[in-house]
Amino acid sequence: MGGRKTVFITGASRGIGHATATYFVRQGWRAITCSRDEVPEECQRSERHAHITCDLADTERLEDTVLRLHNILEGEGLHALVNNAGFSPKGEGGRRLGCLDGDLALWQKVFAINFLAPVFFARACAPLLEENRGAIVNVTSIAGHRVHPFAGSAYSTSKAALTALTRELAADLAHMGIRVNAVCPGEINTAILSPGTERLVERIPMRRLGSPEEVAALIHYLCGEGASYITGAEIPINGGQDVF
């Protein structure tokens, strides 16, 4: 038990979350993950990896998820929370949904998963993280900072809110010794990307998509000793898209 660190990662059935769980486990951490379904076969499991099934859109059930987290922890400490789960609804044929699209229920669902769940988990995990001077990393998006050709308006505004939440949490949790930062991906090669993303690559200075493992490494860095004086930061990971 001694020395082992534990991270709770939301939305880790695939993509960035799965890569992050795998990365942390390889670095000797225990990873507790959650998503709507069981972790698929192809996602490597080990005894250092526990999974909770939950639908983060159902805000009434978030408390239940935290109870299950406590049960898995069995009194062991929590050292990091990664709010990674994200939902980016698209229109027919992958069409971008703008401000005039989608009913309010869809906007509420986007905000429940992308914003309210991180608020809830940050509040619920703060006492656990305080014991270990732990860290929170929120996964925001380049779409939270500018209009994106594929990411919709509900998604983008929810990510802008998550960026603001990172700042607010950093200020409010600093006295507890908890650091709160965000990683802000550009185009990362996962299932969330829309058809046509290849065309965006021409506008990326590094001329390629990022990999989930590259994001995982940054998240891991922000949770570690090397980042001990970093809080309230949002680190872009986008192949240089901010240089223009």
Q: Which of 54, 163, 64, 53 is nearest to 115 (CA)?
A: 163
User: Residues 135, 72, 29, 132: is their CA dihedral positive or negative?
Assistant: positive
Q: Which of 121, 153, 157, 187 binds ligand NAP (CB under 6 A)?
A: 187
Residue closer to ligand NAP, measured from CB, 6 or 10:
10
- The reply on whether position 192 binds ligand NAP by CB under 6 A is yes
- The reply on whether position 17 binds ligand NAP by CB under 6 A is yes
Residues 107-146 that bind ligand NAP (CB under 6 A): 113, 139, 141
- The reply on whether position 219 binds ligand NAP by CB under 6 A is no
- The reply on whether position 15 binds ligand NAP by CB under 6 A is yes
Active-site annotation holds for 23:
no
- The reply on whether position 38 binds ligand NAP by CB under 6 A is no
d(CA 154, CA 167): 20
Q: Which of 26, 45, 48, 55 binds ligand NAP (CB under 6 A)?
A: 55
Tell me how many degrees the CA angle 148-151-154 measures, rounded to the nearest 5: 110
Give 23's contacts (C-beta < 8 A, 6+ positions apart).
213, 216, 217, 219, 220
Residue closer to ligand NAP, measured from CB, 160 or 176:
160
* Shortest spacing between CB 15 and ligand NAP, in angstroms: 2
d(CA 117, CA 56): 6
Give 2's contacts (C-beta < 8 A, 6+ positions apart).
none
Site size for ligand NAP, by CB under 6 A?
A: 28
- The reply on whether position 190 binds ligand NAP by CB under 6 A is yes
CB 94 within 8 A of CB 150: yes
- The reply on whether position 35 binds ligand NAP by CB under 6 A is yes
CB 118 within 8 A of CB 174: no
- The reply on whether position 85 binds ligand NAP by CB under 6 A is yes
Residue closer to ligand NAP, measured from CB, 152 or 185:
185
d(CA 5, CA 136): 14
Q: What is the dihedral of CA 92, 35, 124, 46, to 10 degrees?
A: -150
Interacting span for ligand NAP (CB under 6 A) from 14-22, 63-71, 169-177, 227-235: 14-22
Which amino acid type is present at position 104?
L
Residues 65-84 that bind ligand NAP (CB under 6 A): 84
- The reply on whether position 101 binds ligand NAP by CB under 6 A is no
**What is the contact surface with ligand NAP in residues (CB under 6 A)?**
11-17, 35-37, 55-57, 84-88, 113, 139, 141, 185, 187-188, 190-193
